[in-house]
Chains A and B, each alone.
Chain A
Amino acid sequence: MIRFDSVSKSYPKQNRPALREVSLEIVRGEFVFLVGSSGSGKSTFLRLILREERASQGRVHVLGKDLARLSNWKVPQMRRQLGTVFQDFRLLTNKTVGENVAFALEVIGKSRGQIRKTVPEVLDLVGLGGKGDRMPGELSGGEQQRVAIARAFANRPMLLIADEPTGNLDPQTSVGIMKLLDRINRTGTTVVMATHDQQIVDQMRKRVVELEMGRLVRDQTRGVYGYQH
């Protein structure tokens, strides 16, 4: 599903590379936590998967494709098979919940009939059944994140990338979101989630990958947030 072969990434005008020689493989159906302090390279790692950046060295394969060899105009096609969720939700505040989900389907050219069928389905799935006509501003943070997850999942992606999806939410709401992500994972979607939330990682007991100063320092199946001291 995702394979990194000794991948390094340095940004211009920065001495220290953001990622150094990271090698790792994530297979279909896995749930992976990506942990590490700020500046450890988590975001760069995710941006490489989304091909917002290209690796300086090494190879990144996502969904069986070598991203270095993927031409620019094929990138959108690749991204349609990924879902993305962010800490700040990134909803369109002037569109209703349903329209937000529909927008994502519209812009990749889905037919109207398909959209009409998919939107309520996926809103039901994330627990927002019947709230399609509400505006995002009227919803709580947790509900807004559910909308974002619904949007990311609407196209049934093989892979869901989540960048601190619970970063803005209180612990109780976060648990709800994690349950949802877990459910999505059980449908066969691979989930890669960057997080700072120790409680969640410790509770879920999934694979944990830790980055530190751009290096991969830990890769544990059924791991916890930090080393036990």
Chain B
Amino acid sequence: MRAQFVLSEIGVGLRRNLTMTFAVIVSVALSLALAGGSLLAREQVNTMKGYWYDKVQVSIYLCNKNDASSDPNCAKGAVTEPQKKKIKNELDEMNVVDKVYYESSDAAYKHYKKQFKDSPLADSLTPDQMQESYRVKLNDPTKYQVLQTAFSGREGVQEVQDQRSLLENLFNLLNGMNIAALCVMALMLVVALLLIVNTVRVSAFSRRRETGIMRLVGASSFYIQMPFILEAAIAGLIGAGLACVLLLGAKYFLIDSWLAEKIVLINFIGWDAVIKVLPFVVAVGVLMPAVAAFFTLRKYLRV
């Protein structure tokens, strides 16, 4: 295979179809940016869920010695061993309860550190400031009230918290946006595919003389098809590059410079999450047009 020959063919092809190539690049860029964005939104949800979210529904936070001064529920000081035992026994006997986990303050600190590793909040706490807690998995998630009435206000208990009510709305919103983004992405992807198919078809048609002669003199179909496939892949690669720029730009301008300034308490996805998505974006951006071109050529460039 003569690289120079193939390269010059590609150059000619891309220039001949400049408007179509441009359309392919833009549609690939947009659909991939949306795809990457929706992956990142999912990542964002996972980041916010923390360690317990998918395992339990209710958290019973126990008082620690620091709370005694700040929180009226804990006026009597830190929770004692007998209090803890009693709570545990009662939880075990309740039939709405499926499973009970105990989280020590050390474990709580570890989970916290992990979740907020990218945030300045991570360094502001020490292990002994963390609360011990019972994390309860219910048979029926809607039965949160039962635990609320049983344990809130009890000595040693700071708060009974329905984990879900806290984040559920936000997650619903994010999921809704995610689904919308995926729908738009699917449409853009269809547009991109149709554009690629059409571009390749026009390209094959405008070069039918060359390809006809190539066939006659016995060029392999690989050799005949390669310029077309590379053409599509290069357009896809440029589109994917633009999509990457869009994603990085969104992280920098939208999240870091804007959202993170306004909302301090939410832990946003870090650069590592964004960078992890990029190879996927590039791979899809190159492979999808190449495969689409390959199948188009099977139809329009018979051996």
Contacts and interface: CB of A to CB of B under 8 A. Distances in A.
A103 B218 CA distance: 12
Given A72-B303, A76-B303, A107 B209 contact: no
Contact of B209 (A90, A112, A151): A90
Interface in A72-113: 72-73, 75-82, 84, 90, 92, 103-104, 106-109, 112
Contacts of B216: 50, 79, 84, 90
Contact of A103 (B1, B213, B223, B224): B213
Q: Chain B: interface residue count, which band?
A: 10 to 19
A79 B223 CA distance: 14
A185 interface: no
A109 B303 contact: no
Nearest to B223: A107
A155 interface: yes
B2 interface: yes
Interface in B181-228: 209-210, 212-221, 223-224
A75 B217 contact: no
Contacts of A90: 209, 212-213, 216
Contacts of B303: 72, 75-76
Contacts of B220: 73, 76-77
Contacts of A151: 217
B2 A109 contact: yes
A80 to B, nearest CB: 4
A50 B250 CA distance: 57
Interface in A108-140: 108-109, 112
Q: Which 8 A-B pairs have the closest CB atoms?
A: A80-B218, A79-B218, A107-B219, A104-B217, A76-B218, A76-B220, A107-B214, A84-B216
17 contacts: A72-B303, A75-B303, A76-B219, A77-B220, A81-B218, A82-B218, A90-B213, A92-B210, A104-B217, A106-B2, A106-B5, A107-B5, A107-B214, A107-B224, A108-B217, A155-B217, A155-B218
